[in-house]
Amino acid sequence: AHWIFTTSRARGLRCRGAERINCPLPICKPKLKSALWCALTATEFAQNEGAMLFEKFDHETAVENANRNLIVTVYGDSKSGKTHFAVRCERPLYMIYLDPLPSLDFALLKAEAEGYTGDVYKLVIPPMAKKVGDAWVGQDYEHFSKADAERIVDEVKQAADHARASAAVDTLAGRPGGTLVVDGMSMFKGYLEKAVLGESASLGWRAERGERGGPSRFDYAKSNAAMRDFVMQFSGSKLDVVLVWEASRVYVGGEPTNRFKSTRPDRLPYCISAEVETVKVKEPVVRNNETVGTRVVPHLRIGWNTYDPALEDRLMLARGFDGLKRLFLVDVPAKRVEEELRPEGPVELAPSSPADVE
């Protein structure tokens, strides 16, 4: 009642009548007409103005919303299946492709052969490209200007805005909102650095020996904040979002391991739903009850996520983003996907280079 009274006073309301008593609450300085008047004021506020502040929980609406807006980052070693994972998703697919390797069409055709059909809209920008007319022309970092980076960032943001707006229109019409995939987030991080700071260590800038100046670690916080703002715009939108990052190898005691970490900014997890890693697992090939060799099977390691902490650091077969989404979400029949989870424990990871084989 005290909270309601003070809130009402801020809205220009005043006590009425000459009879006043002290409010029984010790921290309440204002004097109310009566304790009953205070209670009635609270009831009136809750029924009228308070009803406008809260939204009643509805199960069907909650399921629909939960199934729609996942924001997931995926990372992994080179050629571990990141793009193949990302494009196995609900259509329409809005693909922003910034990766240096021109293998997008192959991944889309392979997903199409597996039944992932529907509209696909793509924006492909070569590495450190310059816009010449309607075409993008790649160039090296030495000739890549701040204006070129700003142009790429603007183009990516416009494409993302179009995807969000299209998803909103489609869901209002009863159609699927679809999925936005940004493949090459490590490159986009570099473009943001170049556009905001003028130089980018992610794209290849290095200070000369004895050279002073250039972005500091505090300057990079500005470009990281721009990256966070870019990702946060998708929260509450009507489409799923998959952000594909490169990975860097983890070293222990100066020696390389077969584990990797994402190149994303450290504070980015606060605005995404989950992070997963694509891994290559060696499994034995058995014939006539004898092991005759090994084969590499693509898997997915579930990292931290906001849906089920018990799934953290578990491995599952790499069924694509669509399979991961079914695993996370609340519709019970889809929980059959849990059968694909492997037991916890060590697994043999496939080596990723001849040096690892040795």
Q: What Cα–Cα distance (Å) separates residue 349 from each residue in 10, 127, 189, 250, 323? A: 63, 30, 29, 14, 22
At 15, give phi and psi (nearest 5°): -65, 150
pLDDT in tens, 229-251: 999 999 888 899 999 999 989 89
* Sign of CA pseudo-dihedral 21, 23, 26, 30: negative
Contact 112, 190 (CB under 8 A): no
Quickly list H helices, 143-269. 146-172, 185-197, 220-232
Q: pLDDT-based confidence at 24, cuts 50/70/90? A: very low
User: Crossing angle for the helix pair 185-197 and 146-172, nearest 10 degrees?
Assistant: 130
* String of DSSP letters for 77-138: STTSSHHHHHHSSPSSEEEEE--SS--HHHHHHHHHHTT--S-EEEEE--TT-EEETTEEE-
Beta pairing, strands 93-97 & 120-124: parallel
Alpha-carbon span 309 to 327, nearest angstrom: 13
pLDDT band of 48, cuts 50, 70, 90? low
Measuring CA to CA, which residue among 112, 118, 114, 123 is closest to residue 181?
Answer: 123
pLDDT tens digits, one per residue of 284-327: 888 888 888 888 888 899 988 888 888 888 888 877 898 888 88
Phi, psi of 321, deg, nearest 5:
-60, -35
DSSP β-ladder status, 71-76 and 135-137: unpaired
User: Which pTM does this prediction carry?
Assistant: 0.76
Hey, what amino acid is at 203?
Answer: L
pLDDT in tens, 69-80: 899 999 998 888
* C-alpha Rg value of the chain to the nearest Å: 27
Q: Which two tokens stand for residue 307?
A: 């849906």
pLDDT for 269 equals 77
Which one has a higher pLDDT value, 32 or 40?
Answer: 40
Is residue 30 exposed (0-12), middle (13-18) or buried (19+ Cβ within 10 Å)? middle
Supply the pLDDT for residue 93: 96
Model confidence at 162: pLDDT above 50: yes
Gap between the Cα atoms of 91 and 253, Å rounded: 45
